Amino acid sequence: MKEPISKKNLDGYGAPIIPWEKVQKRLQKGIPQAPKTGGPDRHTAWLATVNRDGRPHVMPVGTLYVDDAFYFTASPKTRKAVNIARNPNCVITIATHDFDLVFEGPATKIVDPARLRQIAEMYTKEGWSPTVVKDGFTAKYSAPSAGPPPWHVYEVKPETVFALGTSEPYGATRWNFQTSTCRK
């Protein structure tokens, strides 16, 4: 991701600001979701969307992090896809060994066939081989929470990121990447 436009130390116990470079380095290593690849036993990504009545909806999703964005799939009739169509604001959370990470930003449905092919190639490199169809992907299998195929493909470019340290020196920091979401 580009450099944040602001940062804030959220730690109330005297820990220093977590350097953005440390979080970037962790993200660039990748966040595999296969068993025994992260922690506690794997990295689980959780997606939170907003129901029609304003209540949150949270589900695990298979994500791919490439080029400073997260990608995930969802069948058009799943609650998360319906929620995103109405309100694209969402949150993705992932626990790693060094940080619990929270990414806030809008989800955008990818419809460009060339971009869908690029994303399919990225997924294939990670061990899942989807086929591009008219509005997204199909494959022999997907994450159980994705619903039945075909799946829409969504991109989340984080506007706000939180890192909560889970190892020395711990700490909690927020970075903003968009002036519209900049908080004091």
Helix or strand (DSSP H, E) at 100: strand 99-110
Residues of the domain holding 165: 6-178
pLDDT at 182: 46
Q: Map residue 40 onto helix, strand or coil.
A: coil
Asked, for residue 48, whether it belongs to a domain, the answer is yes
Asked, for residue 1, whether it belongs to a domain, the answer is no
Number of domains in the chain: 1
The domain that holds 145 is classified in CATH as 2.30.110.10
Asked, for residue 124, whether it belongs to a domain, the answer is yes
Q: What is the tens place of the pLDDT at every residue in 51-108?
A: 999 999 999 998 999 889 999 999 999 999 999 999 999 999 998 888 999 999 999 9
17: nearest Cα among 6, 32, 2, 29: 6
Asked, for residue 183, whether it belongs to a domain, the answer is no
Asked, for residue 72, whether it belongs to a domain, the answer is yes
Check: CB of residue 82 under 8 Å from CB of residue 71: no
